[in-house]
Amino acid sequence: MGRIRILTDQVANQIAAGEVVDRPASVVKELLENSLDAGATRIRIEVEAGGRKLIRISDDGHGMGRDDAMLAFERHATSKIRSSDDLLSIATLGFRGEALPSIASISRLDLTTRMEADATGTAIEIAGGKILRVDDIGVPPGTTIAVHDLFFNTPARRKFLKAESTELSHVTALVTHYALAHPDKHFELHSSTHALLVAPPVRKPSERIFQIFGNDTLQQLVPVAAELRMERTGLPEPPPWKRNENYEPPAPGYLRISGFVSKPELQKLNRNSIYFFVNKRLVRDRLIVHAVIEAYRNIIPPTSFPVILMFLEMPPEEVDVNVHPAKTEVRFRQSSFIHDFVRDTIRNALINARPAASFLQAITASAHATPALLPEISPIPDPSALEASLEELQSDPLIETHDAATFSLSAPESSPMPESLPFSAEVLQALGSMSLPTAHNCGEQILNEDAENVVDAAIAPNLNSLASLKPLGQLRESFILAVNDEGLWIIDQHVAHERVLFERVLRDREVEKVQRQQLLMPMLIDLMPEQMIVFARIAAELERNGFEAEPFGPRTIAIKAAPVGLEGRQLERMLTEVLEQTERETQSENLEAARTRIAASIACHAAIKINTRLDPRRMEWLLAELAKTEHPTSCPHGRPIALRYSWKDIQRAFQRI
Ligand code: ADP
Ligand code: MG
């Protein structure tokens, strides 16, 4: 007898379930997608024990007739595609015909369903893939599926489940994000004890965000919306011999982006709050994450991540969703086009919003990891997640390199402020005891601002008003105090100038117009052998930035010209910094990263230092130049440039409102 045999359907389904269902949240995902595909407008989900004991989902979709309901549990049974051609343009969320048989093979499942036109509905009971009972039943139109005891017959799987609270938080995150993608539908999620989400239909996505996350989060986000006609279609045209005489080449479709991206001050320690949907399907995609990170480059520190909720719409032919059994990955047919569109759209939205760090926000900045984008009513805190985030915190270089002296909050000997002031005492203490480090390290990283601490996000300052600032003077010859109608501002003179120079260097570099100065004496710099290699790699880029350098002996280079503003020690430091940073990067580092790093380094070393006296004209000039920049919010290393103590904050502090 041969060794090979064909697996039973039962085993085949369990194998498929291994790919499709790895935890309760993936069951919820499949069932939710089925309800949406069935045109449901109301979806109610109930879970017990994080979904291990029960997941019940009811919808008011088109339902199924008796035959279809039985067929739905056969492998590869689907109403959504017919031929392989259909795979090229999938407009539904499901299409593999695998989810129901897979889920039924690893649980005890009850289904009731009815089509509106039918007098009676159907009830089906299945356990471990075996149909136990099929009955007629009186039920309202729509479908309800209850999945009991998930993984009851696959103990190995069951062992991998995390704590109930962890599984529940995955389910909650999933339902939340589908609810965000479909604001016009009613979503409810209940756990055995309480309602986790109740979102009645609303007209606009922003209203749904408000419903789910509240006003604070909404105020931290900038809406994005853009549309672009594609230059061509992603699918190749059929060969000439397959075209009939009235063949018309397909018209390229439109690419649309809508959604919300976070302002620079809202930063997360990981990428868990980056969510995007492609044709209403929640997907993970490295290409888009890359585009997002590019968009935020030099706006937030490289170790922080934004919050993104983005919906991409494109003709179904432009995206291949048949890449991964769980359908969470996609392949774009015109990937670089989409990458650049996402990057540029986000960048433009950020430029237009130009938000500033509010004064209090930066002062009260604290360093705890903020949770991923989850509803405020989020479930029981998850101890394992907390542990993970603590670990993350401890190993976070941002935290370790934080110099406590810069923002020491120790109380001054006698507080000049009456105790009843709600928060300004803290602010003034911070100012009063602030000791400034004399040396300033540009590569130094600072604490993340925790935007969840925003005191009054409703009046998020708009940096367009920077242009109207009038300088009053300097604080410790390091910070410019300025006023306008919006309130009192404190501007870090070094990082402000750094931002101005950074954008100028990048701009001038583009047109090869970086102003250079010849050095009276060439400056000789000795390099290590591996630094010579690094130098060779970036020599052309340095040249574009106004440097003139040539080898001078085997391990020495001679700098003959440098960008205006950089000289002596600063020049030497800047070059060693760039060489060291480049050395640390991998070979595959992209050119753009090196380019912005060099520009950031030039800007940092040429910028006005702290502890430098500025006359009023120079302060005015600096503020005016800052107002003209694209991102007056944060320096190229991501730290805030301007803090605002708003008129409202001031009035409140004096208890006038
Ligand atoms: P797929 O979604 O890939 O088609 P599934 O196994 O998830 O495969 O579902 C099989 C079929 O069952 C679907 O094609 C659909 O016709 C039907 N179906 C599943 N869930 C529902 C539902 N909630 N309402 C109506 N029909 C459903
Ligand atoms: Mg499905």
- 38 burial (CB, 10 Å; 0-12 / 13-18 / 19+) is buried
CA of 123 from ligand 2 middle (Å) equals 19
Closest by CA position to 41, among listed 167, 179, 138, 176? 179
CA of 95 from ligand 2 middle (Å) equals 6
Q: Which atom of ligand 1 is nearest to the CA of 98?
A: 6
30, 13 Cβ separation under 8 angstroms: no
User: Which of the ligands is closest to the CA of residue 60?
Assistant: 1
- Alpha helices, DSSP H only, in 415-469? 424-432
Q: Is the pLDDT of residue 237 over 90?
A: no
Average pLDDT rounded to a whole number, residues 31-44: 97
- Output phi, psi for 609, to 5 deg: -85, 165
Ligand 1 pocket mutation pick from 28, 34, 76, 90 by most atoms within 8 angstroms of CB: 34
Q: Whose CA is nearest to atom 7 of ligand 1?
A: 99
Dihedral sign, Cα of residue 583, residue 587, residue 589, residue 592: positive
Q: How do the residues of the chain divide into helix, strand and coil, expressed in percent and rounded to 5?
A: 40, 20, 40
- The alpha carbon of residue 102 and the mean position of all alpha carbons in its chain are separated, in whole angstroms, by 32
Q: Whose CA is nearest to atom 20 of ligand 1?
A: 34
User: Which of the ligands is closest to the CA of residue 143?
Assistant: 1
Could you write out the DSSP letters of every residue in 223-262? EEEEEEE-SS-SSPPPPGGG--TT--PPPP-EEEEEEEEE
173, 189 Cβ separation under 8 angstroms: no
Helix (H, G, I), strand (E, B) or coil at 455: coil
Using one digit for the tens of pLDDT, what is the confidence trace for 567-621? 888 888 888 888 877 766 655 556 677 788 888 888 888 899 888 999 999 999 9
As a whole number of angstroms, the distance between CA 441 and CA 604 comes to 9
Average pLDDT rounded to a whole number, residues 562-571: 85
426, 363 Cβ separation under 8 angstroms: yes
278, 318 Cβ separation under 8 angstroms: no
User: Which of the ligands is closest to the CA of residue 38?
Assistant: 1
What is the per-residue pLDDT for 584? 65
CA of 321 from ligand 2 middle (Å) equals 13
CA of 260 from ligand 2 middle (Å) equals 28
Closest by CA position to 28, among listed 282, 321, 307, 384? 282
Q: Whose CA is nearest to atom 8 of ligand 1?
A: 97
As a whole number of angstroms, the distance between CA 545 and CA 562 comes to 8
Closest by CA position to 502, among listed 407, 400, 334, 632? 632
Q: What is the DSSP letter of 370?
A: P
Beta-bridge partners for 275: 309
| Residues sharing a CB contact under 8 Å with residue 150, sequence separation 6 or more, in sequence order | 21, 24, 27, 51, 52, 55, 106, 107, 158
Q: What is the DSSP letter of 467?
A: G
Average pLDDT rounded to a whole number, residues 476-493: 90
| Residues sharing a CB contact under 8 Å with residue 215, sequence separation 6 or more, in sequence order | 457, 458
CA of 431 from ligand 2 middle (Å) equals 59
CA of 656 from ligand 1 middle (Å) equals 61
Of 113-127, 210-224, 282-296, highest mean pLDDT = 113-127
In angstroms, the Cα distances linking 417 to 201, 359, 434, 644 are: 49, 18, 17, 20
As a whole number of angstroms, the distance between CA 184 and CA 39 comes to 12
CA of 111 from ligand 2 middle (Å) equals 14
606, 505 Cβ separation under 8 angstroms: no
Closest by CA position to 649, among listed 466, 489, 419? 489
582, 601 Cβ separation under 8 angstroms: no
Provide the percentage of residues in the chain whose pLDDT is more than 90: 33
Query: Length of the chain in residues, anyone?
Result: 657
Residue type, 567: E
Q: Whose CA is nearest to atom 13 of ligand 1?
A: 78
What is the per-residue pLDDT for 66? 96
Q: Whose CA is nearest to atom 25 of ligand 1?
A: 63
CA of 20 from ligand 2 middle (Å) equals 10
Ligand 1 pocket mutation pick from 30, 55, 57, 100 by most atoms within 8 angstroms of CB: 100
Q: Which atom of ligand 1 is nearest to the CA of 79?
A: 14
Site of tokens 């993350």: 392
Comparing 64-78, 409-423, 456-470, 601-615, the range with the smallest average pLDDT is 409-423
Q: How confident is the model at residue 463 (pLDDT cuts 50, 70, 90)?
A: low
What is the per-residue pLDDT for 586? 52
Closest by CA position to 546, among listed 573, 577, 516, 587? 516
Ligand 1 pocket mutation pick from 36, 37, 93 by most atoms within 8 angstroms of CB: 37
CA of 568 from ligand 2 middle (Å) equals 67
- Alpha helices, DSSP H only, in 160-248? 164-181, 205-213, 215-219
470, 484 Cβ separation under 8 angstroms: yes
Average pLDDT rounded to a whole number, residues 206-222: 83
Beta strands 556-563 and 516-526, pairing class: antiparallel
Beta strands 556-563 and 548-551, pairing class: antiparallel
Q: Is the pLDDT of residue 269 over 90?
A: no
Of 95-104, 209-218, 411-420, highest mean pLDDT = 95-104
Q: Which atom of ligand 1 is nearest to the CA of 100?
A: 6
Task: Count CB atoms within 10 A of the CB of residue 289.
Answer: 16
Q: Whose CA is nearest to atom 19 of ligand 1?
A: 34
| Residues sharing a CB contact under 8 Å with residue 221, sequence separation 6 or more, in sequence order | 209, 260, 261, 262, 263, 266, 307, 309
Q: Which atom of ligand 1 is nearest to the CA of 57?
A: 23
Task: Count CB atoms within 10 A of the CB of residue 275.
Answer: 23
Q: Is the pLDDT of residue 360 over 70?
A: no
What is the per-residue pLDDT for 260? 92
Binding-site residues, ligand 1, Cβ < 6 A: 30, 34-35, 38, 59, 61-64, 72, 77-80, 94-100, 143
CA of 102 from ligand 1 middle (Å) equals 12
Comparing 46-55, 224-233, 341-350, 625-634, the range with the smallest average pLDDT is 625-634
Average pLDDT, the chain: 79
Using one digit for the tens of pLDDT, what is the confidence trace for 305-318? 898 999 999 999 99
562, 516 Cβ separation under 8 angstroms: yes
- The alpha carbon of residue 135 and the mean position of all alpha carbons in its chain are separated, in whole angstroms, by 48
Q: Whose CA is nearest to atom 14 of ligand 1?
A: 78
CA of 578 from ligand 1 middle (Å) equals 57
Q: Is the pTM of this model over 0.75?
A: no
Using one digit for the tens of pLDDT, what is the confidence trace for 380-418? 334 444 344 333 333 333 333 333 222 222 222 222 332
What is the per-residue pLDDT for 356? 53
Q: Is the pLDDT of residue 338 over 70?
A: yes
Q: Which atom of ligand 1 is nearest to the CA of 30?
A: 7
Beta-bridge partners for 517: 562
Ligand 1 pocket mutation pick from 78, 86, 106 by most atoms within 8 angstroms of CB: 78
User: Which of the ligands is closest to the CA of residue 78?
Assistant: 1
Q: Whose CA is nearest to atom 21 of ligand 1?
A: 34
What is the per-residue pLDDT for 386? 38
Helix (H, G, I), strand (E, B) or coil at 37: helix
User: Which of the ligands is closest to the CA of residue 95?
Assistant: 1
User: Which of the ligands is closest to the CA of residue 80?
Assistant: 1
- Output phi, psi for 508, to 5 deg: -65, -35
In angstroms, the Cα distances linking 144 to 30, 58, 116 are: 13, 4, 14
CA of 94 from ligand 2 middle (Å) equals 4
CA of 106 from ligand 1 middle (Å) equals 17
- The alpha carbon of residue 242 and the mean position of all alpha carbons in its chain are separated, in whole angstroms, by 44
What is the per-residue pLDDT for 483? 92
What is the per-residue pLDDT for 459? 34
CA of 20 from ligand 1 middle (Å) equals 15
